Amino acid sequence: MQLWQLWQSGYLTELFIKVIIFPGLVHISLVVLLAVWFERKVNARIHLRVGPYHVGPVMGFFQPIADFVKLIGKELIVPEKAHKLLYKTAPISALALSTLSFAFIPFGVIGSEMSLPFIPFHLSPGEYWVVYYSNISLLIVILLFSVRPFIIIAAGWACRSKYCTVGALRTAFQLLAYEVPLLVAIVGVVMVAGSFDLVAIIESQSSIWHGVFQPLGLAVFFVAMMAEVSRRPFDLPHAEQELVYGWATEYPGVLYGCFMMAEYVDLYLGAVLMTALFLGGWLGPAFLPPIAWFLLKAGIIVCIVTLLRGVFPRVRIDQLLDAGWTYLIPLALIQVLIILGLAHVAPGLLGLA
Amino acid sequence: MPVMRVKFGPQHPISGHLCLALDVDGDVVVNIEPDIGYTHRGLEKIAENRNYVQAVPPLERANIVDSVHMVLGYVEAVEELMGVEVPERAKFIRVIMAEMSRIASHLYWLCLMAVAVGLETMLMWPINDRELLLDLFEMYTGARITHSFFIPGGVRRDLPQGFKEQTFRALSYLEQRLGDYDRMLYQSYTFKIRTQGVGKLKPQEAIKLGLVGPSIRGSGVKVDVRKDEPYAAYDQLEFTVPTGKVGDSYDRSVVRLREMEQSISLIRQALERLPSGPIKAPAPSSAPKGETYSRVESARGELGYYLVGDGTTRPYRLKISSPSFRNLPAMGYLSKNVPFADIPVILWSLDLWPLDMDR
Amino acid sequence: MSSIVKPLKVVLEHFPKRTFTVFHPYEALKLPERSRGGIQLDMEKCTGCGVCAYICPNVAIELVTRGEKRYPKLDYGRCCFCALCVDYCPRKALKTTPVHELAEFSRAELEYPPERLAQPPQITKPKPAPRRKIVSIKKIDQRGVSHH
């Protein structure tokens, strides 16, 4: 009875806890709830008004849940000429893809023994909070990140409507163009760490964080990440003012809710990647457990990105592509050359050899 | 890709109640065709069926953001037809209300311009600051926007107690806020690259198209009715008319910001030099036969009223020449072969208000 | 570079400022005395001359007979709250009140006969706050102008 053996060894419980609770679906949903609430409150503070106030115990905390419940209750009107299969599966697949990337990212080191009463479950120190450990985890995450544009194009094309088509084309330009600076910014990190394993990358930052000696790489990654996730000032894909809602115009109710949730999950994914690659992951002084350091750093990045929504206007598509190709790629390449030079001249500085 | 016809229809987040049919090729707009008339209410015919005092409330709803100037032009035309001389105090009060309305209209324009560019913060701040001016209006006239406060012969009521102090406090606060807007929007990198070089209009082209208001002043042409044909105490006050240099959307926006500063200084001068005296002159209820034309400088440009009286208590014909209708051809002229994202920027830098166009 | 930093500085300066929000209906909106809301009739002073019905731009006032005298009847569905009738009444029998909550459930109830017009205005009081205290209640005349 293989299932009984799996249960006895504690594997099923461990899988359940890691996939559903942490770092899985419940944790991502809570973070999305927090991110939406925080964005609305911070933007309201900048606008000199009070954001959500009435729903929930503390200053409208349950407002995003109320909005989601409202969206579920709406009638789904499918356009007549739409491609039915693509139309109905695109939102779910976008959300699933974004959430899948979290399966490969380690969130912390287990410090002491963990076990539960009555249920076979055992975690020993030295293991990592990751759903599936692989030694090319960064490559897998990047691969999944690169499939996103195609789902969005498919979602825009499935509606057969003018607004959606033009929006999907603009999105395609933007997302595919900013993949390159993103990847080149990561090259420096991978060179210093020596592997594509996210655990090894974080462990290699034990002497000094990567972001300290690679400020250009950090800045390029930040800007490219904001453009990939389509946050203000780069949120042309759903530029309401021009194309009603861009590629997601025709999606009613819960399908639109899935797209919106996928956007915030992507934002959290970008923040987590930035923490792991440049800001030392879970490393920090010992008065907080490693998981807390990881979540704190990722949370600070999410806060900064939501704050920038109220500060800058939106850029135009041709200016966006010009900036990406003229400024970001050369800066990232210069960063790689600097790292190569430093590695030859002063390897001890970077924590190598 | 073939050329697509996209409608910036009347139900669109950025166009107001204006319908523009665009021919789009990829990302470039090839041609534009405006389709106006969605808010036409027949105000000119309404004015023919009311007498000279009753026509004031309907007419101010033609352009409700800038309601004082709509009434001011009409009342000036009627007074010129009837031959009524307005007392000095009423003239100064009219200047104060007109300039406050100009600031309120420009603050509302600033909200919409920021939304066109994609910044919600600059939607919330000016609308909040406009509340100060609306509170002042409510303290004086009793209504926030729909005052209907001028009648042929003067104004309806006198200033209340404490109006001057409250106004000075509000004006000093507004000056500080205009500095905030300058730093937040006009010196922001993204706003500059969105609006500089977009919708360039040379002075000769602007004159040939027949533009009025801040749209033509942004190109460097100094045209202002308050200086060319002064009305209602403007010849006794000092102010300058700001102009731009290049004629693109950025210059047109800066002209409106400078006009707000000039209006603040005008209100201060008028309140200091307010003479005492009556506020109303007796006006007859029927007008003699004849025709007049009067012009005022509203927030969007020159507003003209052509009035024909025929000896009864109702006018025979009233024609309104609105600034947004005159600026509409520039929209089609400037939108040939521009990127798609420039259309809202050009639209709102010209400040085309659909209610004003359709009357 | 400064054109990227300046907007950020302006935004950060706005964090400690107070909000503009009025927590209606838990806070009362204090309107100035000249505020033009509903109209109140003084039946003693009214003589039934009809100037208010003549001057109204939207034909909202109609005179009805009560015994020997005539009194105005006001249709709020047509009224545009311009208060020309108040200004032009020769006996000053009409008065503006700051009541602005005049909604009814049917159009017939919007026509106010003279007896209903003569009733004193009912200003709505603020509702009691829900289970927790309202965090910020500010006076209206301090809103905005003292943000120095």
CB contact under 8 A, C84 and B57: yes
CB contact under 8 A, A317 and B128: no
Q: Which of A169, A235, A242, A308 to mutate to test the interface with B (most CBs of B within 10 A)?
A: A242
pLDDT tens string C78-103: 988 988 999 899 989 898 888 888 88
Contacts of C15 in chain A (CB under 8 A): 45-46
Question: Mind telling me how many Å the CA of C1 is from chain B's nearest CA?
Answer: 8
Contacts of A58 in chain C (CB under 8 A): none
CB contact under 8 A, A242 and B339: no
- Region A17-42 average pLDDT: 87
**Which residues of chain A approach chain B closer than 8 Å at the C-beta?**
43, 46-49, 162-163, 166, 169-170, 232-233, 235-236, 239-242, 244, 310-319
pLDDT tens string A257-308: 888 889 899 999 999 999 998 988 888 787 888 888 888 999 999 999 999 8
- Tell me the two tokens of residue B89: 């105090």
Q: How many domains does chain A have?
A: 1
CB contact under 8 A, A312 and B190: yes
- Tell me the two tokens of residue B135: 């509170």
pLDDT over 90, % of chain A: 14
Interface membership of A310 toward C (CB under 8 Å): yes
Q: What angle do CA B62, B64, B65 make, to 5 degrees?
A: 135
| pLDDT (0 to 100) of residue C132 | 56
Contacts of C145 in chain B (CB under 8 A): 132, 166, 169-170, 173
Which strands sit side by side in the sheet containing C69-75, from one edge to the other?
C61-66, C69-75, C111-112
CB contact under 8 A, B183 and C87: no
Decide if pLDDT at A190 tops 50: yes
CB contact under 8 A, C8 and A311: yes
Decide if pLDDT at C55 tops 70: yes
What gap in Å lies between CA B258 and CA B264, rounded to an integer?
10
Q: Which of A46, A54, A59, A327 to mutate to test the interface with C (most CBs of C within 10 A)?
A: A46
What gap in Å lies between CA A235 and CA A307, rounded to an integer?
14
| pLDDT (0 to 100) of residue B1 | 60
Question: Mind telling me how many Å the CA of C67 is from chain B's nearest CA?
Answer: 31
CB contact under 8 A, C14 and A311: no
- Tell me the two tokens of residue A191: 């060179």
What gap in Å lies between CA B41 and CA B358, rounded to an integer?
8
CB contact under 8 A, B138 and C31: yes
Q: Which member of C7, C31, C32 has the closest CB to residue B188? A: C7
pLDDT tens string B129-167: 898 889 889 889 988 898 888 989 889 888 888 888 889
- Tell me the two tokens of residue C100: 């602005």
Nearest CA in chain B to A170: B27
| pLDDT (0 to 100) of residue A35 | 92
What gap in Å lies between CA A16 and CA B91, rounded to an integer?
80
Is B73:B294 a contact under the CB 8 Å cutoff?
A: yes
What gap in Å lies between CA B86 and CA B282, rounded to an integer?
9
Domain assignment of residue A211, yes or no: yes
Contacts of C19 in chain A (CB under 8 A): 45, 48-50
| pLDDT (0 to 100) of residue A291 | 84
What gap in Å lies between CA A63 and CA A32, rounded to an integer?
12
Nearest CA in chain C to A42: C15
Taking CB atoms within 8 Å and a gap of at least 24, the contacts of A208-212 are A208/A349, A208/A350, A208/A351, A209/A278, A209/A279, A209/A280, A209/A283, A210/A277, A210/A278, A210/A279, A210/A280, A211/A278, A211/A279, A211/A280
What gap in Å lies between CA A226 and CA A315, rounded to an integer?
13
Q: Tell me the count of A-C CB pairs closer than 8 A.
A: 25
* ipTM, 2 dp: 0.82
What gap in Å lies between CA C87 and CA A343, rounded to an integer?
87
What gap in Å lies between CA A96 and CA B292, rounded to an integer?
71
pLDDT tens string B285-309: 888 899 999 999 999 999 999 999 8
Domain assignment of residue A58, yes or no: no
What gap in Å lies between CA A77 and CA A250, rounded to an integer?
9
What gap in Å lies between CA A84 and CA A72, rounded to an integer?
19
Domain assignment of residue A120, yes or no: no
Contacts of A47 in chain B (CB under 8 A): 120-121, 123-125
Tell me the residue type at A122. Answer: H
Based on the number of CB atoms within 10 Å of its own CB, is C17 exposed (0-12), middle (13-18) or buried (19 or more)? exposed
The band of C140, judged by pLDDT with boundaries at 50, 70 and 90, is very low
| pLDDT (0 to 100) of residue A153 | 84
Q: Which member of A163, A241, A319 has the closest CB to residue B193? A: A319
Decide if pLDDT at C142 tops 70: no
B83 sits in the region (left: phi over 0; alpha: psi -120 to 50; else beta) called left
Average pLDDT, consecutive stretches of 10 residues, N- to C-terminus, chain B (359 residues)? 76 78 82 87 90 90 89 92 90 93 93 88 89 88 89 89 88 89 89 88 90 89 89 89 89 92 92 90 87 92 91 90 90 87 88 86
pTM metric for this prediction: 0.89
- Tell me the two tokens of residue B188: 């922001």
C35-123 CATH fold: Alpha-Beta Plaits (3.30.70)
Interface membership of C7 toward B (CB under 8 Å): yes
| pLDDT (0 to 100) of residue C147 | 30
- Tell me the two tokens of residue A93: 């697949």
Question: Mind telling me how many Å the CA of A171 is from chain B's nearest CA?
Answer: 12
| pLDDT (0 to 100) of residue A239 | 59
Domain assignment of residue A333, yes or no: yes
> Which residues 96-135 in chain B show a CB within 8 A of chain A?
114-121, 123-125, 128
The residue to which tokens 């139309």 are assigned: A87
- Tell me the two tokens of residue B171: 């004006």
Contacts of A46 in chain C (CB under 8 A): 11, 14-15
| pLDDT (0 to 100) of residue A310 | 85
DSSP of B173-223 = HHHHHHHHHIIIIIT-HHHHHHHTTSS---HHHHHHHT--THHHHTTT---
Could you tell me which chains touch chain C, where touching means 3 or more CB pairs under 8 A? Answer: A, B
Nearest CA in chain A to C21: A49
What length is written for chain B? 359
A155's enclosing H/E stretch is: helix A137-157
- Where does chain A show beta strands of DSSP type E? 114-115, 122-123
Q: Where are the domains of chain C?
A: 35-123
Is A223:A305 a contact under the CB 8 Å cutoff?
A: no
Question: Mind telling me how many Å the CA of B170 is from chain C's nearest CA?
Answer: 6
Q: Which domains, ranges and CATH numbers included, belong to chain B?
A: 42-316 (1.10.645.10)
Q: Which member of A48, A235, A240 has the closest CB to residue B125? A: A48
CB contact under 8 A, B119 and A241: no
Interface membership of C143 toward B (CB under 8 Å): yes
CB contact under 8 A, B27 and A310: no
Contacts of C58 in chain B (CB under 8 A): 57
Which residue range forms the structural domain that includes residue A145? 77-112+129-345
Q: Which member of B121, B138, B183 has the closest CB to residue C35? A: B138
The residue to which tokens 């069926």 are assigned: B49
Q: Which of B52, B135, B175 to mutate to test the interface with C (most CBs of C within 10 A)?
A: B135
CB contact under 8 A, B55 and C36: no
| pLDDT (0 to 100) of residue A352 | 65
A201 phi/psi in degrees, rounded to 5: -65, -45
Contacts of A317 in chain B (CB under 8 A): 27, 339, 341
CB contact under 8 A, B340 and A43: no
Question: Mind telling me how many Å the CA of C128 is from chain A's nearest CA?
Answer: 14
Q: Which member of B26, B121, B344 has the closest CB to residue A310? A: B121
- β-bridge partners, C75: C111
Q: Between residues B91 and C122, which one has the greater pLDDT?
A: B91
Contacts of B121 in chain C (CB under 8 A): 11
